[in-house]
Amino acid sequence: MKRSTRTMVLLVCAVLVLAALTSCNTLSSDASSATTVSISGNGTIYLKADIVTFSINVNETEATTAQAQQAANKKMTAILDILRKFNIEDDNISTTALNFNTEYYWDNGQQIKVGESVSQTVYVTMKDIDSFPSLSDELGSKLNGISFYNVRFDSSQKAKASSQARELAYQNALEKAELYAKSAGLKVVRPVSISEGYSSFTTANYKSLDAVMMMEAAAPATSYGTQTPTGLLSASIDVNVVFELK
């Protein structure tokens, strides 16, 4: 009797194990045979610039380094005074280059010394973008021999815009998946995988302000203010989503 009972228990356990394995295989087979569709979506948000960044460089050449440094310091002090007049804080002004060099030129194979040069470059972030044209005019009218370049219009809302673009990209992919599902007589069940593809934030670059200042200097009889059209900035996100259909 004991042997018979033990045999019966072993048979029951074997049946249960086989049933469990069969159930797992069925589930695995169902999952692997699920109908899916892979869709790409894009979301783009357009916004206006509210920040402008730019660089200003001074470069002075004199007989000695001390004289060149004094000339460069004087001009840079005037630049900083104008920047502060337009409420640009020191935290938004940073020196990106300070160079001392000896200048030469070549004449009939001979190296002739011109003098000692000192240059300094500052990088500026201006948050009052509406005052930028007036700042440009003042720098151009009060200072000579400066380089004003790398003007770029940007936005303080780029992180928020990128999040909104990401949401739009997913919704765009979902709408496409629903169209495919409807055409096939199915419905979208759920996203199986989501991967983000290309993302970008475009900023607007303005033409060199050196050219604007030169044109104004060449025609003193007529005075024109600096024009700074910014255009629209954009945050764009691509997303790839695999949806399960049923």
DSSP codes joined into one string, 88-117: --GGGEEEEEEEEEEEEEEETTEEEEEEEE
As a whole number, mean pLDDT of residues 26-32 equals: 44
What is the tens place of the pLDDT at every residue in 181-221? 999 999 999 999 999 988 888 875 554 444 333 334 444 55
pLDDT digits (tens, 9 = 90+) for 96-135: 999 999 999 999 889 999 999 999 999 999 999 999 999 9
> Distance between CA atoms of 3 and 216, rounded to whole angstroms?
111
> Looking at residues 62-86, what average pLDDT do you find?
97
Q: For each of the domains in the chain, give its residue range(s) and CATH number, in order of start.
A: 34-48+156-204+227-246 (3.30.110.170), 51-154 (3.30.70.2970)
Q: 107, exposed or middle or buried, with CB in 10 Å at 0-12, 13-18, 19+?
A: exposed
Question: Is pTM beyond 0.75 here?
Answer: no
- Please give the pLDDT value at position 121: 97
